[in-house]
Amino acid sequence: MTQGRIVKALSGFWYVRTEDGVLECRAPGKFRKNNILPLVGDMALVEPLGGGKGSLGEILPRKNRFIRPAVANVDIMVIIASAAVPVTEPYLIDRVAAISELKNCEPVICFNKCDLKRSELCGIYRDAGFKAVETSAVTGEGIDELKNIISGKLCAFTGNSGVGKSSLLNMMEPDFGIPTGDVSEKLGRGRHTTRHVELFQLSCGAFAVDTPGYASFEESEIDLEMKSRLPELFREFRPYLGSCRFNDCAHVSDLGCAVVKAVEEGRISRSRHDSYIKLYQLAKQLREWEEK
Ligand SMILES: Nc1nc2c(ncn2[C@@H]2O[C@H](COP(=O)(O)OP(=O)(O)OP(=O)(O)O)[C@@H](O)[C@H]2O)c(=O)[nH]1
Ligand SMILES: [Mg+2]
Ligand SMILES: [Zn+2]
């Protein structure tokens, strides 16, 4: 048995980088029986079978795991957004950021295509306590800053289709040559250029997962744990939690709510609070449904 990291998942094969190179592996039947789904980013024990092939033996314990993108052991979630076409909704950023916080994974917000249009949102995220970078995969602006942030970490590049996840990776390492696609084609046919999840090793010492863009984050990530912890998953709410008039304050519109007061006084951004309300309502439905 040798140990390695799963770097790609494609059509029922897992590709594991080991000391002897990348091995193409199948999962044994016991994985399916025990409901074990290996993920890109996983550390695994592998039985080499010769000829560049192997068999997965065991998945080592994970720091965290995401359903969509399907990745494990993510240190940093790089949420790529764009103010140019295709424009990213703040709600998408906030949803992914909250889910990342829940899983002990640091969200970093990257406003790409700044050569076309600068985002007005960057300040909102910096004020809220996030690292936020403006980048361009065309001019190279912000690329070094992004490299510094992700250096030595396993990070996942996420964001709606066409924001430039693959282009940014290519800008960082021209050798990657990852296929990228035309935005108008993506919008027209709703097609993703990137179809599978793959982990790339960067010369800055980072490991980056390129993922297919998605229209909506997997709702199964929004569970009861997320519901109970939702307010603290919005990091800029934390100083106010505990100062509301009612202990069971939902921080939505309640009388005497310290969070709502901070929104009204401009200390918390309204768009972040709007996203909180949407997630709160989603999570609330989930509980009502589960209790039936
Ligand atoms: N002007 C400009 N165009 C960009 C930038 N980044 C990406 N693009 C263009 O946007 C289009 C989509 O880029 P991709 O890198 O394929 O986007 P993606 O996020 O990987 O998309 P999916 O794989 O479908 O999820 C391509 O035509 C890129 O050339 C940028 O910073 N500036
Ligand atoms: Mg892509
Ligand atoms: Zn409150």
CA of 176 to the centre of ligand 2 (A): 12
Establish whether domains 2-59 and 65-210 are of one fold: no
> pLDDT tens digit string along 26-72?
999 999 999 999 999 999 999 999 999 999 999 999 999 988 788 99
Predicted pLDDT at 290: 63
Predicted pLDDT at 221: 75
Averaged pLDDT for residues 70-87: 95
- Which residue has the least CA distance to atom 32 on ligand 1? 113
What is the percent of the chain where pLDDT is above 70? Answer: 93
CA of 267 to the centre of ligand 1 (A): 34
**Ligand with smallest separation from the Cα of 198:** 2
Averaged pLDDT for residues 242-265: 94
CA of 48 to the centre of ligand 2 (A): 31
**pLDDT-derived band of residue 226, with 50, 70 and 90 as boundaries?**
confident
Q: Which two tokens stand for residue 244?
A: 């509301």
Give DSSP secondary structure letters for 145-203: HHHHHHTTSEEEEE-STTSSHHHHHHHH-GGG------HHHHHHHT--S--SEEEEE-T
Q: Among the atoms of ligand 1, which is closest to the Cα of residue 210?
A: 20
Ligand 1 pocket by Cβ (under 6 Å): 112-113, 115-116, 136-138, 159, 161-167, 180-183, 186, 192-194, 212-213
- Examine residue 174 and say whether the peptide bond preceding it is cis (omega within 30 degrees of 0): no
CA of 163 to the centre of ligand 2 (A): 8
Residue linked to tokens 């918390």: 268
CA of 91 to the centre of ligand 3 (A): 20
Amino acid 13 reads: F
Residue length of the chain: 292
Cα 73 to Cα 11, 59, 124, 290: the distances in Å are: 22, 12, 28, 29
> Is residue 291's pLDDT more than 80?
no
What class is the 65-210 domain?
alpha beta
Between CA 243 and CA 261 the distance in angstroms is: 11
Pocket test for ligand 1, best of 161, 166, 169, 180 (most atoms within 8 A of CB): 180
> Is residue 139's pLDDT more than 80?
yes
Pocket test for ligand 1, best of 163, 176, 191 (most atoms within 8 A of CB): 163
Average pLDDT over the chain, rounded to an integer? 91
What is the percent of the chain where pLDDT is above 90? Answer: 78
> Is residue 186's pLDDT more than 70?
no
Tell me if residue 291 falls in helix, strand or coil.
Answer: helix
Tell me if residue 82 falls in helix, strand or coil.
Answer: strand
Report the relative pairing of strands 131-134 and 154-158 from DSSP bridges: unpaired
Predicted pLDDT at 189: 47
CATH number of 222-291: 1.10.40.50
Question: Residue 1 gets which letter from DSSP?
Answer: -
Contacts of 264 (CB under 8 A, 6+ apart): none
Q: Is 142 left (phi over 0), alpha (psi -120 to 50) or beta?
A: left
Which of these, 91, 26, 92, 93, lies nearest to 53 by C-alpha position?
Answer: 26
What class is the 2-59 domain?
mainly beta
**pLDDT-derived band of residue 187, with 50, 70 and 90 as boundaries?**
low
Between CA 138 and CA 263 the distance in angstroms is: 36
Predicted pLDDT at 106: 98
Which of these, 122, 152, 151, 154, lies nearest to 135 by C-alpha position?
Answer: 122
Burial class (CB in 10 A: 0-12, 13-18, 19+), 26: middle
The answer to pTM > 0.85 is yes
**pLDDT-derived band of residue 287, with 50, 70 and 90 as boundaries?**
low
> Is residue 188's pLDDT more than 80?
no
**Ligand with smallest separation from the Cα of 246:** 3
Predicted pLDDT at 184: 66
Pocket test for ligand 1, best of 135, 167, 209 (most atoms within 8 A of CB): 167
Question: Residue 40 gets which letter from DSSP?
Answer: B
Between CA 203 and CA 167 the distance in angstroms is: 16
CA of 79 to the centre of ligand 2 (A): 13
Cα angle 240-242-246, degrees, rounded to a multiple of 5: 115
Whether the CB-CB separation of 266 and 252 falls below 8 Å is answered with: no
> Is residue 193's pLDDT more than 80?
no
> Is residue 217's pLDDT more than 60?
no
**pLDDT-derived band of residue 173, with 50, 70 and 90 as boundaries?**
very high
Domain boundaries, the chain: 2-59, 65-210, 222-291
Averaged pLDDT for residues 210-233: 78
